[in-house]
């Protein structure tokens, strides 16, 4: 295949692909079509996108028990009922269907949280990793205690048992524990588990409008003290939206210093947060632009694909990017470019590296029928996906 006059990075090139590898990258117009070679003209070639935050165990379940209030609390309550009804075949089928939805839309790396309240679901998703790899999809699994580890006697034991099943990351939800102190204790225990098992960490952190929900600074302090820079993700961090500015500045500087990556989840949080407000209602999205200003690493998650928290997800990563541009007021040209490029740059960092399209590398890439970030956000097209 020959890509003629296609954008790659910030320049226009001719790119030849053969045997699922990038054979050559040359000046535009310099490569001549070979016999039987398909030619694709124009467009934009990028690495595949990555999804750093989704819940495959709950995906596609929203219609079974609709969230009437639209709140985070009801979503968790509905999920706790649905969780008890799961079967291995059901978890497997929905996870495969959702992963393929992502792949068709250009996302070939997926990090899923799975509720440790159902160890069968944890085991099922861990066992799907090699099967999905055969379809060109890389899966990471986070052992996530959706209802915390101190609210009931068996939850800590289930959480620890899930770690032994072959997960990639230790998860926790400190703001949902019974007390502030127990939330902080859950952070310390998560780091202990990760250190003992050689795993990364991925927290649901301060997903609240409460300006007194202050777990992110504890996560950052632990990451600094234990030398875990680059191995810790903090998802949501919506309380940061409501912090007073002096405290927010302190925390954002700490995030950057600690090397903790914050994952914003605009689709879910714009509808789940602000539910205790009358008017004006908070958007409830973490301070993406200000985190950038401090040099912190930010990713963008889809979070929910038609699950008990958000019914409208289509597993298309351009959708949360589009939402973030709106609710984060990131409509400047460079801001929109940065949001879109996050999907195939910083979104890959939880997996360990950012893929690069270069000669000799696998042709694991996307071709878009547009050549600017703004047009991607306007049209949100489906890419042509090459799985390498």
pLDDT of residue 364: 97
Q: Which of 294, 234, 222 is nearest to 261 (CA)?
A: 234
In this prediction the pTM is 0.96
pLDDT of residue 295: 98
Distance in angstroms (rounded) separating the CA atoms of residues 184 and 174: 6
Tell me how far CA of residue 160 lies from CA of 16, 142, 156, in angstroms: 49, 12, 6
Q: Which of 338, 329, 352 is nearest to 111 (CA)?
A: 352
pLDDT of residue 169: 98
pLDDT of residue 224: 98
Q: Which of 207, 249, 341, 359 is catalytic?
A: 207
Mean pLDDT, 10 residues at a time, the chain of 388 residues: 96 96 96 94 98 98 92 90 95 98 98 98 98 98 97 95 97 97 98 98 97 97 98 98 97 98 97 93 95 98 96 97 98 98 98 96 97 96 96
Residue 222 among the catalytic residues = no
């Amino acid at each position: 295949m020959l890509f003629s006059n296609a954008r790659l990075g910030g320049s226009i090139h001719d790119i030849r692909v053969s045997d699922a590898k990038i054979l050559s990258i040359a000046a535009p117009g310099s490569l001549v079509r070979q016999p039987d070679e398909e030619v694709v003209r124009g467009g934009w070639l990028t690495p595949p996108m990555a999804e750093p935050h989704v819940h495959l165990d709950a995906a596609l379940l929203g219609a079974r028990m609709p969230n009437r209030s639209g709140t985070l609390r009801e979503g968790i309550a509905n999920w706790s009922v649905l969780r008890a009804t799961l079967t291995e075949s059901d978890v497997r089928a929905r996870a495969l269907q959702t992963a393929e939805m992502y792949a068709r839309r250009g996302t070939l790396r997926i990090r899923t949280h799975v509720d440790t309240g159902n160890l069968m679901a944890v085991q099922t998703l861990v066992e799907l990793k090699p099967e999905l790899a055969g379809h060109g999809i890389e899966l990471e699994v986070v052992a996530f205690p959706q209802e915390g580890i101190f609210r009931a006697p068996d939850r800590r034991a289930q959480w620890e048992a899930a770690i032994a099943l072959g997960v990639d990351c230790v998860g926790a939800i400190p703001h949902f524990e019974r007390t502030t102190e127990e939330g902080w204790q859950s952070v310390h225990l998560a780091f202990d588990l990760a250190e003992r098992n050689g795993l990364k960490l991925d927290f649901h952190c301060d997903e609240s409008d409460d300006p007194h929900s202050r777990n992110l600074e504890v996560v950052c302090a632990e990451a600094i003290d234990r030398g875990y820079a680059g191995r810790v993700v903090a998802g949501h961090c919506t309380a940061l939206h409501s912090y007073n500015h002096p405290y927010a500045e302190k925390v954002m500087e700490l995030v950057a210093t600690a090397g903790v990556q914050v994952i914003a989840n605009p689709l879910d949080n714009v509808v789940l947060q602000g539910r205790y407000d009358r008017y004006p209602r908070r958007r409830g999205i973490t301070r993406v632009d200000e985190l950038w200003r401090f040099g912190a690493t930010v990713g963008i998650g889809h979070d929910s694909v038609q699950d008990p928290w958000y019914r409208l997800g289509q597993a298309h990563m351009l959708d949360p990017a589009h939402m973030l541009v709106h609710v984060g007021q990131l409509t400047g040209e460079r801001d929109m470019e940065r949001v879109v490029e996050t999907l195939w740059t910083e979104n890959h960092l939880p997996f360990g590296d950012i893929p690069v399209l270069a000669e000799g590398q696998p042709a694991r890439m996307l071709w878009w029928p547009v050549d600017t970030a703004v047009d991607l956000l306007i049209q949100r097209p489906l890419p042509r996906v090459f799985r390498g």
